[in-house]
Amino acid sequence: MVDEPNNQAAVESMSIYRNFQWGRHLELVLTDGRSYRTPHPVPPEINQKLSGSDRYLTPLKAVEVFDAGRTYDDGHPPETIEIGDQTIPNVRRESAPGSMLGDRQKEWWKNTVARSTATWTVWGHGVPLMPMRIDLGAVDPDAQTVVMTTDTWDGYLTERRELLSFVQDADTRLVSLSGDNHNSFAGLLHPTFESAGETPIGAEFSVCGISSPSLFRAFVQAISDDSPLRPLIAFDGRPVDLDVEQVEALNLTFLDGAKASATAARTGNLDQAKEAGEGPNDHLSYVDSNAYGIGRVTVDARGVDVELITTPPPVTPQRERELEVTRRAHFTLRPASGSGTVALEGPEIEGEPPFPFWSK
């Protein structure tokens, strides 16, 4: 019955991916990252053995091998993977690479991006495109770099690389607008995120939720005070003369690496901490992991102006009060020399900056 033409038309009418163009400067492309995606690359039962979670803090090595499936290492995937002292069977050795969009939507996306004549192609989708990783190996020789969550595009590395390389070849200036990561952040998009010196092809601005718990709060609850990972999330700044009971170190961990946060917790010296850090997220310009709020975007011929607005946690009714704003982080994305390239300015922060920005 589904193959009957009218039924098929009805099913297709329920698809939510689509595009709109406003004037000469904005092509808005909206995709569906839930309906057509393959399962997370590392099965929950294996991820539980590796990190104690279904899809968080997954070793990057496992993601790379499992996501690529039978295409890994030019078609020579290993039968097992060594993660620390564990030997993990490669259960996706015979599988195709993972996909967030599915074949049909991906082909539509490529055609839409290739045909666009707008100054800016703005891609609105449900989960972040940029990597958000933690280099645990910098503070623990028995650990390694982990992906914050495989629910984002960091769990679908093969397809992300395919799409961003396509954008590069199409000479398109791409702006990614995303969310569902329970924090606000911004940075530059690169074709692979794997090679130093790649020319940026766009930028991403990801916004937190209005009322859902922040990423920082979730990590504070999940990582105990006596855990060796705790200084990478939060630490007491008073013993190191920072005069803050709880320093929100998770931002620094993402921006400058695990060693940076460990150094800050030990010395209180932010310059020394940043010098020590060698983080895996060089593309990031801003992270506000303890954020609630909204984002505002304006697109015109000159560029893309973005404001990430952080508000206090919505824990009490505010019917009689105006909405409070904790901070506004302003960014401007401009065309750079060369087709398809961009330059990101910001953040300029109005209000109370998050750590580590308040120490500047």
Residue type, 131: P
Question: For 262-268, what is the mean pLDDT?
Answer: 96
pLDDT grade, residue 1 (50/70/90)?
very low
Q: Say how far apart CA 289 and CA 249 lie, in whole Å.
A: 9
Three-state SS for 209? coil
Q: How many angstroms separate the Cα of 104 from the Cα of each of 51, 147, 151, 159, 274?
A: 34, 27, 21, 13, 44
Per-residue pLDDT reduced to its tens digit, 89-123: 999 999 999 999 999 999 999 999 999 999 999 99
Sorting pLDDT into bands at 50, 70 and 90, what band is 304? very high
Maximum separation of any 2 CA atoms in the chain, in Å:
71
DSSP state of 143: -
Written as one string, the DSSP assignment of 13-60 is HT---EEEEETTTEEEEE--SSSSPPPPSS-HHHHHHHHSSSSEEEEH
Burial class (CB in 10 A: 0-12, 13-18, 19+), 248: buried
- If phi > 0 it is left, if psi is from -120 to 50 it is alpha, else beta; for residue 241 that is left
Across 301-329, average pLDDT: 85
Pairing of strands 202-206, 184-189: antiparallel
What is the radius of gyration, based on Cα positions, of the chain? 21
Question: Residue 54 is which amino acid?
Answer: D
pLDDT at residue 359 is higher than 70:
no
Structure tokens at 132: 């958000």
Q: What is the mean pLDDT of residues 302-322?
A: 82
**pLDDT of amino acid 338:** 65
User: CB count, 10 Å around CB of 261?
Assistant: 34
pLDDT of residue 279: 87
- Is the C-alpha dihedral spanning 162, 166, 168, 172 positive or negative? negative
Q: How many CB atoms lie within 10 A of CB 99?
A: 17
pLDDT tens by residue, 37-95:
999 999 999 999 999 999 999 999 999 999 999 999 999 999 999 999 999 999 999 99
Residues 198-215 have a mean pLDDT of 94
Secondary structure percentages of the chain, helix, strand, coil, to 5 = 30, 25, 45
- Percent of the chain, pLDDT > 70? 94
Confidence of residue 360 (pLDDT cuts 50, 70, 90): very low
Q: How confident is the model at residue 259, as a pLDDT?
A: 97
Given a contact cutoff of 8 angstroms between Cβ atoms, the answer to whether 133 and 280 are in contact is yes
For the chain, the average pLDDT equals: 93
pLDDT of residue 50: 95
| Strand runs labelled E in 133-283 | 133-135, 145-149, 174-178, 184-189, 202-206, 234-235, 247-248
pLDDT of residue 306 exceeding 80, the answer is yes
Task: With residue 5 as reference, give the H or E element that holds it.
Answer: helix 5-13
Does residue 12 carry a pLDDT above 90?
no
- According to DSSP, the residues that pair with 145 across neighbouring strands are 135
pLDDT at 319 over 70: no
Kind of pairing between the strands at 174-178 and 120-124: parallel
Would you place residue 336 in the very low, low, confident or very high pLDDT band (cuts 50, 70, 90)? confident
Identify the pLDDT of residue 196: 78
Average pLDDT over residues 335-341: 74
**How does residue 323 score in pLDDT terms, banded at 50, 70 and 90?**
confident
Residue 6 is predicted with a pLDDT of 79
Question: Is the predicted pLDDT of residue 7 greater than 50, yes or no?
Answer: yes
pLDDT of residue 4: 75
**For residue 340, what pLDDT is reported?**
61
**For residue range 223-262, what is the model confidence (pLDDT) as tens digits?**
999 999 999 999 999 999 998 999 999 999 999 999 999 9
